Structure 1
Amino acid sequence: MMVLKDILYRVPINVVVGSTGVEIDTIDFDSRNITANSMFVAIRGYVADGHDFIESAINQGASVVICEVIPEKMIEGVTYVEVEDTNKALAIIASNFYGTPSENLKLVGVTGTNGKTTIASLLYQLFKEAGFKVGLLSTVKIMVNDTAYKATHTTPDSLTINKYLKEMNDAGVEFCFMEVSSHGIHQSRTEGLCFEGGIFTNLSHDHLDYHNTFAEYRDVKKSFFDALPKKAFALVNVDDKNGLVMLQNTKAKKFTYALKNYADFRAQILENQFSGLLLKINDSEVWTRLIGSFNAYNVLAIYATAELLGLEKEEILRLLSLLESVSGRFQYFISDEKITAIVDYAHTPDALKNVLETINSIRTKNEDLITVVGCGGDRDKTKRPKMGHIASALSTKVVFTSDNPRSEEPEVILKEVEAGVEPQNFKKILTVADRRQAIKVACQMAQPNDIILIAGKGHETYQEIKGERVDFDDYKIVQEFLKQLEK
């Protein structure tokens, strides 16, 4: 329970109608969850506008309403607070309500198109191994030291973030690593959080269904660094041309990392195999079980962050060698028939290109590389032909299939993916709309020593079709089919 005037600390307010001395038990932006003595925050979403549910929230027991426009019909005894932006207000309110939990630990945000989950998850792993109590807010899961919770978004809503950060405070967590998506930044979900540092991985074609232009997408990412405080660090990949853009207006201490350009933290790939990478980071060599040049960047970012957070260099190198890959990120096994199956989340053109180039740089070229890939429905359509082009150009055989078709017809999506295939690659492709059947076909096509890449869904254990989520796990399904072939 908390008094309204304390909850509103630092919230920019236009108008208040009613008392700020009322006590609040809970806060929510979903009117269906409202109970007596609750605060309802009216958020303008993409599907519905919370302002349409103010009356319903009051009927459920809301005693305070936070909104951008005070309704004409006001109910006596209810306090109405008008603000410019309810998303921003919610984030500050959530932080106040849970006792500004981000100030009681060292919170590091990871943003960029690819690598966020790997970097955040492996930093969690590394600091845990170093003996610290650690938290993680990621696409794959939320961790409060040893306790796991299911994640639903890359960046959860601000109430959820602060609720888990408060749990981390109660559990004595010292460091928390958090994925920060462009949606999360744009919707002010990270507003009011106190960051110890921010990491920029890279920027490539993604989310243009949401952000309209690449420049807008880039500038949203940049605003995260603009908001970092003076005491924080900003660590950016300068092999990506947008890396230095992120640093332009930040007040934070600036650090860079790279494999190709001059930077504060540099790495060189000495060996790249299916068993792992041998890297030279600054002047020290380290072996890691992670695979591929894109992971060399991830490992380097992890090393740099650990050093900036005060760990000893020798200890960081030792811990890097213990790290294990994240679920659905270049997760692979070799069957008894010597067929290598790789499951990866690559769902953007750049990520798919990185994974395929990595496999091609390791394989002998005497074996086939069979790629199973599709594109999600109700998302950025402009990337579909690009995905088709990359998959068919860099694989020996391709099976185009459904990803999460959502409300779209899989056949329509697949036609748009196929449109990117160049004539000389037509003979390589096959289209099987049913994802389970597509994986089965790839397994039947594979000979000993061949490589199957199943891209796009990675760690996801469901497929989203016509508003329903059905159980679907790429890794389990490919294991199942390859075992059947062994009989």
Structure 2
Amino acid sequence: MKLLKDILYKVKINAVSGNTSVSVNKIEFDSRKIESKDVFVALVGTLSDGHDYITKAINNGAIAIVCQKLPEKLEDNVTYIEVENSNEALAFMAANYYENPSENLKLVGTTGTNGKTTVSSLLYQLFKKAGYKVGLLSTVKIMVDDTTYETSHTTPDSLTINRFLKLMNDEGVEFCFMEVSSHGIHQKRTEGLHFEGGIFTNLSHDHLDYHSTFAEYRDVKKAFFDGLPKTAFALVNTDDKNGLVMLQNTNAKKYTYALKTYADYKAQILENQFGGLLLKLNDNEVWTKLIGNFNAYNLLAIYATSELLGLQNEESLRYISELESVSGRFEYFVSDEKITAIVDYAHTPDALKNVLETINSIRTKNEELITVVGCGGDRDATKRPKMGHIASALSTKVVFTSDNPRTEDAQSILNDIEAGVEPQNFKKVLSILDRKQAIKTACQLAQPNDIILIAGKGHETYQDINGVKNDFDDYRIVSELLKQLQK
């Protein structure tokens, strides 16, 4: 049990009704999870408003209510705290409740449109190889040193973040690497956390269903760097024009990385093939198993971060050469028939373009590049024709298909994608609604030495259709289908 007034430290409070010296059990923002003597935080979400569930929370045993607007009727023996922003309040309360665990480890956040998962996951790998106890908060999974926990959000809610950071404290974790999404920043989930550093990868077209303009999307990312303390570092990719924008108002120590422009950390691609990359990182050459220009940026960010966190360059380079690709990020295999199958999470125009350009820079042009791709439903629809244009322009054959349609009509999504195909590319394109059938068709079209790219879902092991998550794993399915066709 903790005193309510103690977990309200740093919360911006407008009004109080009741006693803040009461002992509370735990914090919840879901009224269904409320038990005796809990605090209920009423969050204002995009789909529901927690203020509508205050009465239910009290009936379930809530002893205190944190909200942005006080109810008309205030119950006896319940403390009400009116705050400016309940999401921000929850973040500070969560940090206080779990005894500010981020202050006891070196927490590094990575933000950007593409590369967050790869950079965070590879930093986790590298520091594990260096012998440290390490944590990871990512789209793919949460790691507390060697223990894996499933995750469903790029940036979890504030309670989940602090609960796992506290668990990391208990397990003696020294470093933690965390993906920081624009949703997470906007919803104040990272408030109250103490960051050792922040990394900016890039910014391109995404999430405009949530952020009304690209400028708003950029400024939300920038807010993360604006909030870094002067003791932290801010590392940004200056080949992206938004990189220097991220540094404008930060108090953190500023560092840059780039392949094309002057920067503190520079990389040069010496060799790029399906076997891996030969890179020159500053003045040091290193061979890595990862592939493509986009991974050159990721590896450069990792190299820079490891130095900023105190690793010796020689040590970092040795571990970089041993790093394995992240699940669903340019994950590939070659079948017995010499067909290369690649599964990648690319679900934005820029990410898809990067992957296709990487494949085209490696292949000899004597083989076909067959791309299977779709777009998610209930998400930014303006990127769909752009995805269609890029896929059809940079592939020799394309199969448009369903991704995660969610509550949208899958055929309508396909129509949006097809609208971006230019007339000269019409003959390249097939549209097959059923994703498994689309992958099977790509496998049937492929000849020895051809390349199949299955884009959009990457590490996901489900397909979301009308709220039901059906079992679906691109990598497993293409592996099975290619084996069947070889028989």
1-structure distance, mates of 2:134, 2:37? 34
Residue 172 of structure 2 aligns with which residue? 172
Residue of structure 2 in register with 1:52 after alignment: 52
Aligned AA (1:105): L
Structure-to-structure mapping, 1:199-348, within 5 angstroms: 199-348=199-348
Amino acid at match of 1:400: F
CA distance in 2, matches of 1:210, 1:373: 22
Q: CA deviation at 1:403?
A: 0.3
Amino acid at match of 2:298: N
- The separation in 2 between residues aligned to 1:320 and 1:161, in whole angstroms, is 28
Cα deviation, residue 419, structure 1: 0.2
CA–CA distance in structure 2, aligned partners of residues 11 and 391 of structure 1: 48
Q: Provide the rounded CA distance (Å) in 2 between the counterparts of 1:216 and 1:364.
A: 41
Structure 2 match to 1:197? 197
Deviation at 1:10, TM superposition (A): 1.0
Residue in structure 2 matched with residue 83 of structure 1 by the alignment: 83
Quote the residue 1:151 is aligned against.
151
Give, in whole Å, the separation in 1 of the partners of 2:406 and 2:77. Answer: 43
Name segments (4+ residues, structure 1) moved above 6 Å: none
TM-fit CA distance, 1:25: 1.0
2:371 corresponds to which residue?
A: 371
Q: Tell me the equivalent position of 1:388.
A: 388
Deviation of 1:59 (Å)? 0.3
In structure 2, how many angstroms separate the alpha carbons of the residues matched to 1:22 and 1:70? 19
Amino acid at match of 1:101: P
Partner Cα separation in structure 1 for residue 327 and residue 277 of structure 2 = 18
Equivalent residue for 1:131? 131
Residue type of the alignment partner of 1:211: H
**1:322-362 alpha-carbon deviations (Å, 9 max, x no partner):** 00000000000000000000000000000000000000000
Cα distance between partner residues in 2 of 1:148 and 1:431: 38
Q: Secondary structure at the match of 1:245?
A: helix
Residue 350 of structure 1 corresponds to 350
Unaligned runs of 5+ in 1: none
**Distance apart, 1:74 and its partner CA:** 1.2
Q: Which residue of structure 2 aligns with residue 32 of structure 1?
A: 32
Secondary structure (helix, strand or coil) at the match of 1:208 reads coil
Equivalent residue number for residue 432 of structure 1: 432
Matching residue's letter, 1:396: T
Match of residue 470 from structure 1: 470
- What per-residue deviation string (whole Å, max 9, x for no partner) do you get for residues 117-155 of structure 1? 000000000000000000000000000000000011000
Query: Hey, what's the Cα distance between the residues in 2 that align with 1:27 and 1:92?
Result: 11
Q: What is the root-mean-square deviation in Å for CA atoms of aligned residues?
A: 0.4
- Residue identity over aligned pairs, in percent, reads 76
What CA distance in whole angstroms lies between the structure 1 residues aligned with 2:313 and 2:126? Answer: 13
C-alpha displacement at 1:73, in angstroms? 1.1
Give the aligned residue type for 2:253: K
Q: Residue type matched to 2:87 in 1?
A: N
Q: Which amino acid aligns with 1:172?
A: G
Secondary structure of the residue aligned to 1:357 is: helix
In 2: Cα distance, 1:49 partner to 1:188 partner: 16
Letter in 1 for 2:304: A
- Cα deviation for residue 281 of structure 1 reads 0.6
CA distance in 1, matches of 2:71, 2:410: 43
TM-score by length of 2: 1.00
Q: Distance in 1 between matches of 2:84 and 2:313?
A: 47
Whole-Å separation in 2 of the counterparts to 1:410 and 1:142:
31
Q: Aligned AA for 2:94?
A: A
Q: Where in structure 2 are there 5+ consecutive unaligned residues?
A: none
1:32 CA displacement:
0.4
CA deviation vs aligned residue, 1:142-169 (integer Å, no higher than 9, x gap): 0000000001100000000000000000
The 2-side partners of 1:12 and 1:402 are apart by 45
Report the AA paired with residue 90 of structure 1: L
- How far is 1:449 from its partner? 0.4
- CA-CA distance at 1:173 after TM superposition: 0.2
- Aligned-partner Cα distance in 2 for 1:383–1:47: 23
| TM-score w.r.t. length of structure 1 | 1.00
